[in-house]
C-alpha cells in the first residue's frame, strides 16, 4: 500500500523527472494541490489520460498503469521504457532548422513513413514537440501533424538526463494505448485513479452542445458514470476539470468533495487563453 506523503517525499529526495513533452493541459503547476488532495493511502495507481504525465512523474508509484488514446504519445513512453539509448542516438540526428522541421513534420504524408521503426517515430514526436509552435499536438482531418515551426533559439531537443530519469521511472510500469473506459476492468478496491480529461470549455454550459476534440458531452457523462461505478467498487478517484456549472451539475453527488483551485496555464489545449483560471478537483473520499 502506498502512502501519498511518503511517495512525494521520496521523490523530492530522489530523481526528479520532468514530463519529457510539453503537453496541453499539463498539470505541472497544480502538482502540490493534486498531491494534497490525493488519497492518503492506496494500492495501485492508474492514470488513463496520462498526456505528459506530470502527476505520475511526481509520484512515481512502481505499481502503475498509464494510458492515453494517443498512439504516437504512448509509443514514446514505450520506447523511453525499452530503448532509451536508441532514442537518444536518433534524436541526436535531428536539427532545429525550418527546412529540417518541415521535412520531418511532413514525413507522415509520405508512404515511406510506414517503414519507419518505432524509435524513429518516437524521436520525431519529441523533436516536433520541442520545435513546433508552442509544443502543440494537432493533426488535420487526415491525421497528419500540422503545427507550424516554432522558430525557437534553443529548443533542448535532447534532454538526455531527463530521458534517462524517465526511463528509470517507467521501469515495470504498464503502458497502454486505450480509451479511459478500459481502466474499469483493471482497477480494484483500494486502487487510485487520477482522471485528467480534456476539459469542458468554459464558455459552454448547455447540456445539448457538443465539444471539440471528439471529447464531447457524452464522454464527459460516460466519465462521470464510470466514476460512480468505480466508487461502488471501492476505487478512489480524483478528477480534474474546468470550473463550470456543468461540472457542478454532473458531479452533484460529490458536491461536498469538490475543491476549487487556481491554475496558471502556460499552454492551453483547452483554448480559453492564458493566465489564471479556476479549476476543480473532484474526489470520492
Ligand atoms: C488534459 S490532457 C492530460 C494532461 C496530463 N495530465 C499532463 O500532465 O500532461 C488530456 C489527455 O486525454 C487524452 N484523451 C483524449 N480522449 C481520450 C479518451 N477517450 N481516452 C483516453 N485518453 C484520451 C488526450 O490524448 C490527452 O493526452
d(CA 76, CA 23): 13
- Residue among 66, 69, 125, 177 whose CB has most ligand 1 atoms within 8 A, to mutate: 69
d(CA 123, CA 117): 10
Ligand 1 atom closest to the Cα of residue 197 is: 10
Give the closest residue to 221 by CA, choosing from 212, 231, 210, 232.
Answer: 210
Q: Which residues contact 142 (CB under 8 A, 6 or more apart)?
A: none
- Tens-digit pLDDT profile for residues 1-34: 888 878 877 666 566 899 999 998 888 889 999 9
Q: What are phi and psi of 154, to 5 degrees?
A: -135, 75
Each residue's pLDDT, cut to its tens digit, for the chain (285 residues) gives 888 878 877 666 566 899 999 998 888 889 999 999 999 999 999 999 999 999 999 999 999 999 999 999 999 999 999 999 999 999 999 999 999 999 999 999 999 999 999 999 999 999 999 999 999 888 888 889 999 999 999 999 999 999 999 999 999 999 999 999 999 999 999 999 999 999 988 765 444 444 445 788 999 999 999 999 999 999 999 999 999 999 999 999 999 999 999 987 654 444 445 567 899 999 999
Q: How far apart are the first and last CA of the chain?
A: 17
Residues having CB within 6 Å of any atom of ligand 1:
19, 23, 25-27, 48-49, 51-54, 68-70, 179-180, 196-198, 215
Ligand 1 atom closest to the Cα of residue 23 is: 9
Q: pTM for the complete prediction?
A: 0.92
d(CA 88, CA 262): 37
d(CA 168, CA 80): 9
Tell me, what's the pLDDT at 2?
87
Domains of the chain: 2-69+178-283 (3.40.50.150), 74-159 (1.10.1020.10)
d(CA 101, CA 44): 40
Ligand 1 atom closest to the Cα of residue 194 is: 6
**What is 80-113 written as a DSSP string?**
HHH-HHHHHHHHHT----HHHHHHHHGGGGSGGG
C-alpha cell at 56: 505520475
Amino acid at each position: 500500500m502506498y502512502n501519498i506523503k511518503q511517495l512525494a517525499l521520496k521523490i523530492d529526495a530522489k530523481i526528479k523527472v520532468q514530463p519529457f513533452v510539453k503537453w496541453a493541459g499539463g498539470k505541472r503547476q497544480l502538482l502540490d494541490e493534486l498531491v494534497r488532495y490525493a488519497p492518503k493511502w492506496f494500492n495501485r495507481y492508474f492514470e488513463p489520460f496520462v498526456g505528459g504525465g506530470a502527476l505520475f512523474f511526481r509520484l512515481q508509484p512502481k505499481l502503475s498503469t498509464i494510458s492515453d488514446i494517443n498512439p504516437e504519445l504512448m509509443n514514446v513512453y514505450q520506447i523511453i521504457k525499452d530503448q532509451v539509448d536508441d532514442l537518444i542516438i536518433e534524436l541526436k540526428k535531428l536539427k532545429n532548422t525550418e527546412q529540417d522541421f518541415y521535412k520531418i513534420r511532413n514525413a507522415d504524408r509520405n508512404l515511406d513513413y510506414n517503414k519507419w521503426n518505432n524509435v524513429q517515430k518516437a524521436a520525431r514526436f519529441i523533436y516536433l514537440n520541442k520545435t513546433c509552435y508552442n509544443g502543440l499536438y494537432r493533426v488535420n482531418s487526415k491525421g497528419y501533424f500540422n503545427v507550424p515551426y516554432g522558430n525557437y533559439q534553443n529548443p533542448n531537443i535532447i534532454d538526455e538526463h531527463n530521458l534517462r530519469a524517465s526511463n528509470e521511472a517507467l521501469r515495470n510500469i504498464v503502458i497502454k494505448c486505450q480509451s479511459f473506459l478500459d481502466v474499469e476492468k483493471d482497477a480494484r478496491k483500494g486502487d487510485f485513479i487520477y482522471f485528467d480529461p480534456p476539459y469542458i470549455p468554459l464558455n459552454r454550459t448547455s447540456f445539448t452542445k457538443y465539444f471539440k476534440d471528439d471529447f464531447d458531452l457524452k464522454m464527459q457523462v460516460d466519465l462521470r458514470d464510470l466514476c460512480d461505478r468505480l466508487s461502488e467498487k471501492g476505487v478512489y478517484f480524483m478528477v480534474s476539470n474546468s470550473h463550470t456549472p456543468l461540472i457542478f451539475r454532473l458531479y452533484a453527488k460529490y458536491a461536498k468533495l469538490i475543491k476549487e483551485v487556481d491554475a496558471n496555464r502556460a499552454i492551453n489545449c483547452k483554448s480559453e487563453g492564458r493566465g489564471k483560471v479556476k479549476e476543480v478537483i473532484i474526489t470520492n473520499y
